[in-house]
């Protein structure tokens, strides 16, 4: 093992993420536990209505992960075996894995160097005659060019499903991210901007898409079946398709409702932390601060700084190790999909296929950004980055 060039310090670890849980969150969950109704029920319905109201969309369907939301959204818009779906390579594996689960083929695409998002011209470049859908990912909470992507997809007869796992709240022009495509998928995983522990939401303006997603989220059982056949009792149900078990519990939904009440407050906290990190890091010549769209419209789910590796004597990985020695938790978002074994073996991708994603991946580090981070913690993060950069200045 190589010796760190900066001495380790005996300070408390600053984790990469710490979920902000309030006493109201705890009370909301406790109330459901005491109510006797833990599965999908009134809390879930209320969460769906409040979430739809927050975004200003007609329909929201709560499910038990962001991955489930993406899977159901694609299924509901009609992605089937034999279709192609364009997905950026710089994303989490579930953005593309769900395409495979439907028997379709993920067609990977490169990203824009500045925003790390899928650009419309790359969609044109990767287009195939079987392309049924495009999945833009709002990386780190920075909005994709939705008007450009929508125009490009529609001109060729494809639909758009937004991967909005990072994008609450993100604005794209005058509308929230997640309200452009035929459907969008949000994630409420523990590290996301609001959480239900595990959870997700499909949003759509299309009632048929919402109805299909709701049916397939719960075993393919249709609500209509109850009325249609004048059921002999409350125990009676009919299964119209081979569905999934993706419904959200009321325990989780109660936490989601409580967190949603604070979504703007939590966002302001993350934005303030981002501004402090920017101010401290913009004077470190070896570091590039995150991209933004002229200010106030990013969710700040992640703070992805990039290293000017040519100005350093160490690699990104060594930089991460040294931050670790100084007590700073970090992560990397993401290892490009085409570098993972299954994407190479099953889909034939190779190192070198997406040069922008590969180059940016090799120099990115996600720093801690979570509501509740103290000024002292933020200063420690900045000082640690500056210290490691100074120690490895070329
Ligand atoms: C871009 C992106 N899409 C989808 C997901 C899947 O969300 P979940 O973990 O809730 O299934 C994630 C989760 O990390 C993500 O980062």
What pLDDT sits at residue 360? 98
What pLDDT sits at residue 9? 58
pLDDT grade, residue 292 (50/70/90)?
A: confident
Q: Cβ neighbours of residue 13 under 8 Å, at least 6 residues apart?
A: 327, 329
Q: Is the pLDDT of residue 34 over 50?
A: yes
What is the mean predicted confidence (pLDDT) over 126-134? Answer: 98
The C-alpha R_g of the chain, in whole angstroms, comes to 22
pLDDT grade, residue 232 (50/70/90)?
A: low
Q: Which of 64, 87, 92, 93 to mutate to test the pocket of ligand 1 (most atoms within 8 A of CB)?
A: 92
CA 67–ligand 1 middle distance (angstroms):
6
Catalytic hit among 192, 245, 268, 345: 192
Q: How far is CA 369 from the centre of its chain?
A: 15
Share of the chain residues as helix, strand and coil, in percent rounded to the nearest 5? 40, 15, 45
Q: Is the pLDDT of residue 224 over 60?
A: no
The three-class DSSP label of residue 188 is coil
Give the CA angle between residues 32, 29, 271 to the nearest 5°.
Answer: 145
- Span 310-355, pLDDT tens digits: 999 999 999 999 999 999 999 999 999 999 999 999 999 999 999 9
- Span 131-170, pLDDT tens digits: 999 999 999 999 999 999 999 999 999 999 999 999 999 9
**Distance in angstroms (rounded) separating the CA atoms of residues 197 and 62:** 13
What is the mean predicted confidence (pLDDT) over 99-126? Answer: 98
**Active site annotation includes 268:** no
What pLDDT sits at residue 236? 84
What is the mean predicted confidence (pLDDT) over 113-127? Answer: 97
* pTM, entire model: 0.95
Which protein residues are within 6 Å of ligand 1, measured from CB? 65-67, 91-92, 94-95, 137, 163, 165-166, 187, 189, 200
pLDDT grade, residue 231 (50/70/90)?
A: low
Q: Is the pLDDT of residue 227 over 60?
A: no
Q: Is the pLDDT of residue 10 over 70?
A: no
62-76, 182-196, 217-231: which has the minimum mean pLDDT? 217-231
What is the mean predicted confidence (pLDDT) over 35-61? Answer: 97
What pLDDT sits at residue 293? 72
CB atoms within 10 A of CB 390: 13
- The answer to whether the beta carbons of residues 198 and 252 sit under 8 Å apart is yes
What pLDDT sits at residue 295? 53
E-only strand ranges, 71-207: 84-88, 105-109, 131-134, 159-163, 171-172, 175-176, 183-187, 200-204
CB atoms within 10 A of CB 232: 7
Q: Is the pLDDT of residue 243 over 70?
A: yes
**Distance in angstroms (rounded) separating the CA atoms of residues 93 and 164:** 14
What pLDDT sits at residue 145? 95
What pLDDT sits at residue 357? 98
What pLDDT sits at residue 235? 81
CA 383–ligand 1 middle distance (angstroms):
31
Computed over every residue of the chain, the mean pLDDT equals: 94
What pLDDT sits at residue 226? 42
What pLDDT sits at residue 297? 83
């Amino acid at each position: 093992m190589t010796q760190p060039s900066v001495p380790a310090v005996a300070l408390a670890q600053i984790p990469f993420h710490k979920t902000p849980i309030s006493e109201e969150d705890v009370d909301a969950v406790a109330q459901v536990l005491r109510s006797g109704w833990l599965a999908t029920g009134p809390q879930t319905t209320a969460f769906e209505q409040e979430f739809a109201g927050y975004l200003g969309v007609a329909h929201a369907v709560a499910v038990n992960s962001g991955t489930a939301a993406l899977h159901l959204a694609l299924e509901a818009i009609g992605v089937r075996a034999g279709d192609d779906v364009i997905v950026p390579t710089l994303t989490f594996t579930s953005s593309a894995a769900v395409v495979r689960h439907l028997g379709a083929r993920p067609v990977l695409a490169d990203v824009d160097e500045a925003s790390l998002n899928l650009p419309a011209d790359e969609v044109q470049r990767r287009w195939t005659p079987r392309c049924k859908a495009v999945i833009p990912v709002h990386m780190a909470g920075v909005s994709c060019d939705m008007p450009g992507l929508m125009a490009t997809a529609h001109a060729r007869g494809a639909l758009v499903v937004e991967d909005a796992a990072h994008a609450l709240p993100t604005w794209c022009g005058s509308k929230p991210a997640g309200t452009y495509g035929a459907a969008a998928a949000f994630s409420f995983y523990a590290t996301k901007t609001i959480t239900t522990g595990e959870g997700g939401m499909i949003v759509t303006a299309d009632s048929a898409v919402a109805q299909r997603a709701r049916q397939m989220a719960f075993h393919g059982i249709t609500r209509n079946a109850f009325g249609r056949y004048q059921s002999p009792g409350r125990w009676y149900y009919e299964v119209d398709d081979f569905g999934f078990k993706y419904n959200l519990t009321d325990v989780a939904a109660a936490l989601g409702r409580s967190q949603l009440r604070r979504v703007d407050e939590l966002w302001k906290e993350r934005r303030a932390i981002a501004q402090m990190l920017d101010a401290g890091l913009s004077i470190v010549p070896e570091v590039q601060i995150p991209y933004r769209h002229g200010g106030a419209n990013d969710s700040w789910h992640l703070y992805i700084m990039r290293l000017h590796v040519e100005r350093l004597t160490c690699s990104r990985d060594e930089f991460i190790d040294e931050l670790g020695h100084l007590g700073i938790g970090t992560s990397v978002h993401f290892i490009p999909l085409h570098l993972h074994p299954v994407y190479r073996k099953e889909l034939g991708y190779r190192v070198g296929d997406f040069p922008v994603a590969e180059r940016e991946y090799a120099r990115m580090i996600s720093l801690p950004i979570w509501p509740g981070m103290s000024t002292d913690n933020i200063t420690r993060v900045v000082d640690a980055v500056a210290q490691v950069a100074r120690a490895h200045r070329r």
